[in-house]
Amino acid sequence: MIDHASLAARVDEAARTATAIDQLSQGEPTLTLEDATRIQALSIDRRLARGEALIGLKVGFTSRAKMIQMGVHDLIIGRLTDAMGITDGGETARRRYVHPRAEPEIAFRLKARLEGRVSAMDALAAVDAVAPAIELIDSRYKNFKFSLADVVADNSSSSGFVIGGWAKPSAELDNLGMILSINGRPREIGSSSALLGHPLRCLVEAARLAADAGLALEPGWVVMAGAATAAVALTPGDYIEAQTQGLGRAAFRLGA
């Protein structure tokens, strides 16, 4: 029998103390995606018990660039809490992470509930605003290596997020150029159409995957659509900026 609560405590402690651990599947070779989904929920319950608030979800592996970089080919979700937020233009400390990476994303803010199977039109109607965003991912596993179940149990590597200025939603969200720059030098260049062909499809998938985990996307929530490019490893002092054509930019500095 897999002890979900104790595995949730293990990934939660690893995240809280920025300590690398072995993949859960090494000790539990039968770990399934269902187990991992349960472990993720329990690990976030521990954060909520410490006073953090659940403010949304992120979807992962919505682009081929990410699937190829990480060797995982299924869509996943992770939970976002208020404590993971980094102020646009602000700073977060390197010591809070095991091996931080940044990736350029698009964020949606919802004004209506999305639950289960929804259409792209339903998703668009539920969007209050969109923004350029950066996700700071950090696997708690040694060498940033994991199986699908491992990464889901580890809250899908969610660690931090930066959101630029919110703008009114428009259906013209596909084919927007996206650039991730580090210290003013472009490091990854992509397009919003890398995100399942259209970032709104990521919202549709988020609603479906959330329902599998017993959740609905709630009004006021933020949903991150996933990285359009591969993620870039960060070094203390780095200034990270993501720019999305027509939406603007989001940025932060990684402190010591």
Pick from 12, 103, 205, 241: which binds ligand OOG (CB under 6 A)? 103
Nearest distance, CB of residue 1 and ligand OOG, angstroms: 27
* Residue 35 contact partner, candidates ligand OOG, Mg ion, none, CB within 5 to 8 A by sort of partner: none
DSSP assignment of 185-217: EEEEEEEGGGTTTSHHHHHHHHHHHHHHTT--B
Determine if 135 is a binding residue for Mg ion (CB under 5 A). Answer: yes
Closest to ligand OOG by CB, 141 or 215: 141
The residue to which tokens 């992470």 are assigned: 97
List, in sequence order, every beta strand (DSSP E) within 36-153.
Answer: 54-60, 76-81, 85-86, 90-93, 101-110, 127-137
Please give the residues from 222 up to 251 whose contact with Mg ion meets the rule CB under 5 A.
227
* Span from 34-42, 133-141, 182-190, 191-199 in contact with Mg ion (CB under 5 A): 133-141
Q: Does 139 bind ligand OOG (CB under 6 A)?
A: yes
The residues with which 105 forms a beta bridge, in sequence order, are 133
State the nearest-atom distance from the C-beta of 156 to ligand OOG, in Å.
5
Sign of CA dihedral 30, 157, 102, 188: positive
Q: Which is nearer to Mg ion, 98 or 227 (CB)?
A: 227
Helices 4-17, 33-49: inter-axial angle, 10-degree rounding: 60
Q: Within positions 53 to 82, which residues make up the interface with ligand OOG, using CB under 6 A?
A: 58, 60-62, 66, 70
Q: Which of ligand OOG, Mg ion, none does residue 7 bind (CB under 5 to 8 Å by kind)?
A: none
The answer to whether the CB of 46 falls within 8 A of the CB of 52 is no
One DSSP character per residue, 76-90 reads EEEEEEGGGEE-TTE
Q: Name the site residues for ligand OOG (rule: CB under 6 A).
A: 58, 60-62, 66, 70, 103, 135, 137, 139, 151, 156-157, 226-227
